Amino acid sequence: MKSLTCPLCGKNAQDKYRPFCSSRCANLDLGNWLNEDYRVSVIEDDDLDDIEDV
Ligand SMILES: [Zn+2]
């Protein structure tokens, strides 16, 4: 089997936390997803504001 490397820091991934090397990297990745989701909904709110102005 080929070994996976952590997509965040490049260290060897642990079976327990695949594809990450540790719970810390797994949590960081989850945080990135949540932040992106939040940013997208903020942009959508701005668009609605523009429509109300016109
Ligand atoms: Zn890592």
Give me the tens of pLDDT residue by residue for the chain, a chain 54 residues long.
Answer: 678 999 999 999 999 999 999 999 999 988 887 777 666 665 566 666 666 666
Contact 22, 5 (CB under 8 A): no
Ion ligand 1 residues within 5 Å by Cβ: 6, 8-9, 11, 21, 25
Task: Tell the residue number behind the tokens 């260290």, with chain if given.
Answer: 11
Distance 38 CA to ligand 1 centre (A): 24
Distance 45 CA to ligand 1 centre (A): 34
State how far the Cα of 29 lies from the Cα of 23, in Å rounded to an integer: 10
Locate the domains of the chain by residue range: 15-53
pTM of the model: 0.55
Tell me what pLDDT residue 35 has. Answer: 78
State how far the Cα of 27 lies from the Cα of 48, in Å rounded to an integer: 32
